[in-house]
Chains A and B, each alone.
Chain A
Amino acid sequence: MNIIVLIKQVPDTTDVKLDPKTGSLIREGVESIINPDDRHALEAAIRLKKAEGGKVTVLSMGPPQTIDALSEAIGMGATEAILLSDHAFAGADTWATSFTLGKSIEKIGRYDLIFCGRQAIDGDTAQIGPQVADYLHVPQVTYVFEIEKIQKKSIIVKKRLEDGYERVQCNLPALLTVIGELNVPQYPTIGRLIDACKEKSPIQIWNASDIGVQTRDVGLEGSFTQVIKTFAPKFKRQGEMLEGDAKKVAGTLVEKLKENKLI
C-alpha cells in the first residue's frame, strides 16, 4: 500500500505572543511544529503501513526550515519525505497550494491513499485536502475519526458530523482528512531521527522546475485570493460589569442574554 501524507509546518501557538501595544502577533523566536491534525494523519498512515506493508511518503510545501517537520515525520516512521521549497511558492493561497501539491503527487506517481489533517492551526481553512482530491479526481472523506476496514478497492471509515457520524465506504485511491479523535500519535524515535539527518537522507527537496510548474501558476502569482489587510481584532466587547449580590447579578445576566436573543 502506497500512502502519501500532506503535512504543514506551523508556528507553535503555545509560543505565539501578542504585542501588547499593537495586538499583533510576535513571530520572532516562535518555534515551529508539525500541524497538530497532520500529526494524526501521519500516525494513521504509519499504522496502516505497519499493518498492510508498503510505504509512507510525506509531502510538505514550505520554506527550507520545513525540513525539521519532515525529519520528525521520518522519526515517527515515515519511509521518505519530499520538501517542496522554492521562492516562487511563497504567498500561495489554497488554490495555488493545491495545484503545487497536486503536481507533486502526480510526479510521485502511484498511491492508494492520501492522508491530510483536517485543517492547519495558522490558517484554519480546511481547504487543501478537498482541493487536492479534486485536482487528482479522487474521492474524499473529511473529518475521519475511525478507520474501520481496508479492502482491496475501498476503505470503510467513520466521518464526524456536527450531531453524530456517518459510516462511509470510499473507493480507492482516495484522500482522507482526519481529526484528533482518530489516534494518539507516537513520539519519533532517536534512531530514525538520526536516519533523517544522514548523508543518504530519505528527504528530497523539489523546486518549481522539478515538478514542472511555471512561476506564474504558483505562489502569490498563481493565487486567486490575496490578503489585502490584516489587523488585530477589535473586541467589540461590551465590557460591562454587573454589580450587586449573587442573586441580583444572576437576574441581570439573564436579562442581558434575553436582550441579545441568546436565550
Chain B
Amino acid sequence: MAVWVEIDLCNGCKRCVKACPYGAVEISDGKAHILEHCTSCGACLEVCKEKAIHTDVKLRAIPDFNDRKGVWVFAEQRGGTLNKVSLELLGKARELAEELNQDVSALLLGDKVSGLCETIIAYGADNVYLAEHKNLKEYRTIAYTDVVEKLVNEYKPNIMLMGATHIGRDLAPRVSRRVGVGLTADCTELTIDPEEGILLQTRPAFGGNVMATIANRYSRPQMATVRPGVMEPLPKSGSKGDVIACKVSLTEKDIGTKILESVREKNKGVSLGDAKVIVAGGRGVGSQEGMKSLFSLAKVMGGEVAGTRIIVEEGWLPADRQVGQTGQTVRPEIYIACGISGAIQHRAGMLGSRYIIAINKDGRAPIFEVADWGIVGDLHEAVPAFTKALKDSTGK
C-alpha cells in the first residue's frame, strides 16, 4: 500500500503539498516527494493536475445509506434545565435538515422532564423522543449510552449532534463506539456537501492554529459534538411537533456509577477553558497593582482573569491562569487582551476566541492583527473607562 510520484510528470506545482492533511508531501529540486509518514489517504491524487501521483490503494466502497433519515440533537438537561447549546444545535439541525429535506428530532433523557418538550419544539424539533426513568435523573454515562444506543438502532438517524459540554464529551464517544460510528469532536462549522449529501464537519486542531474538515462517509449516523456558543438558536413561532414517549428499562447494577453528591460552586472561578469572557494581561500591565483594573473589568463582565507567561513568571497570577502555548488554550466568547503584544506563543492559546479586543500602547503590536476591535492607548486609562461604560450601560 503506497502512494508515489512519477517524477517526470511532476511540475512542482505544490498543489499536493497544500492538499496533504498530514504534511507528508515535500517539494525538493522542484519535484514532489512523498514522505514516510504518508497514510495513503489519497488527498494528493485528487488535486494533481498532471496526474503524476499514483497509488495501489483500492478505493474503499462507500456503503449505501439511503435509508438513514433525520437530523438528531441530544437535548442536554441537568436538574431539569436545558443546556443552551442544545437550542443552538436545534437551530443548526433545522438548517441541515431543510437542506436534506429531512426531519429534526431531539432526544430528551431524564426523570420527569417532559415539561421541556415545548421549548425543544419551539426551537425547531419536529419530534422529541422522550425517555423518562428514575435511573436517568442524573446524567450517568452507561445509563444514557444504553438508552441512546437503543433509540439510534431503532430509528436509524442520518446525523446526530451533541454539545461539546462535559456531558456531551463524556457521552458522544461512548455512544459512537457502542453504535459503531465515527465521531468528530468540537466542531465549529457544519455544512452539507452539495454533491455527496454528507455532513462536512469543520473543527480547530492544534489549539486553533489549524482548521480541519472531516467527513464520515462510512458509518451512520454521522456524529459530531459542537462547541457551545458557536451556532445560533432559532426560535420559531407556532411550530408544532410530536412527543414520542420511549420505553426504558434500566437496572441500577448495570450502570456502574453512582453520584454521591453534586456540588454547584457559584463563587469558584470557572476554569479558563470554560470561561465565556477572559480579561488577559501582558507585560504592559506593569505591576501587581496594575492587575486590579483587570479584575474589576472581569467582575463586571462575569469573566475570568488570565495572563501571558510574563505575568505568571512575575507571580502576579497563579500558573493555572496562563494562556498560550506553555499555558492553556482558551476559546471564550470575548477575549480582552490588555497590554499584550501578541507573540505567536500567546496567540496560539487564544486564537479560537470568538471575539478579540486588544488594548495596547503600541499600534504596531501584532495583537491588533487578530483583533476584532483595537484600542491604541494606555490600558490603565482604557480598562477603567471601559469598565465604567459597561457599568453605566448595564446598570450594575
A residues whose Cβ falls under 8 Å from a Cβ of B: 11, 13-14, 16-18, 22, 24-25, 27, 63, 90-91, 93-95, 98, 121-131, 133-135, 138-143, 156, 160-171, 174, 180-181, 219-221, 223-233, 235, 237-242, 246-247, 249-251, 253-254, 256-258, 260, 262-263
Contacts and interface: CB of A to CB of B under 8 A. Distances in A.
A123 B210 CA distance: 10
Contacts of B40: 91, 220
A142 B329 contact: no
Contacts of B183: 94-95, 125, 127, 225
Contacts of B27: none
Interface in B185-214: 185-186, 200, 204-214
Residue in A13, A25, A138 with the greatest tally of chain B CB atoms within 10 Å = A13
6 contacts: A121-B207, A124-B186, A143-B166, A162-B165, A249-B375, A254-B390
Contact of B374 (A131, A231, A240): A240
Given A139-B141, A227-B21, A240-B374, A127 B348 contact: no
Contacts of A13: 206-207, 325, 348
Given A130-B170, A139-B256, A169-B258, A228 B211 contact: no
Interface stretch (B119-127, B284-292, B376-384): B376-384
- Dominant SS among interface residues on chain B: mixed
Contact of A160 (B166, B186, B334, B373): B166
Contacts of B174: 130-131, 133-134, 140
A168 to B, nearest CB: 5
A63 B37 contact: yes
A121 B330 CA distance: 12
A138 B39 CA distance: 32
Contact of B256 (A25, A171, A257): A171
B212 A126 contact: no
B64 to A, nearest CB: 16
A238 B382 CA distance: 20
Contact of A127 (B19, B22, B185, B388): B185
Nearest to B376: A241
A128 B174 CA distance: 9
B216 interface: yes
Contacts of A232: 209-211
B275 to A, nearest CB: 10
A241 B364 CA distance: 12
A230 B39 contact: no
Nearest to A27: B23
Given A167-B259, A171-B257, A226 B214 contact: yes
A134 B141 CA distance: 10
B386 interface: yes
Interface centre among B268, B368, B373 (most CB of A within 10 A): B373
Contacts of A253: 357, 373, 375, 386, 389
Interface in B126-180: 141-142, 145, 165-166, 169-174, 176-178
B166 A140 contact: no
B43 interface: yes
A233 B351 contact: yes
B244 interface: no
Given A250-B382, A258-B393, A164 B263 contact: yes
A219 B39 contact: yes
B391 to A, nearest CB: 10
A192 B186 CA distance: 38
A262 B373 CA distance: 13
Nearest to B215: A228
Contacts of B39: 90-91, 219-220
B177 A163 contact: no
A98 B177 contact: yes
Given A16-B206, A124-B205, A250-B382, A94 B370 contact: no
A50 B37 CA distance: 39
Contacts of A227: 21-22, 41, 212-214
B171 to A, nearest CB: 8
A14 B206 CA distance: 11
B344 interface: yes
B116 interface: no
Contacts of A169: 257-258, 260
A147 to B, nearest CB: 14
B147 to A, nearest CB: 14
Contacts of A94: 173, 176, 182-183
Contacts of A225: 182-184, 214-216
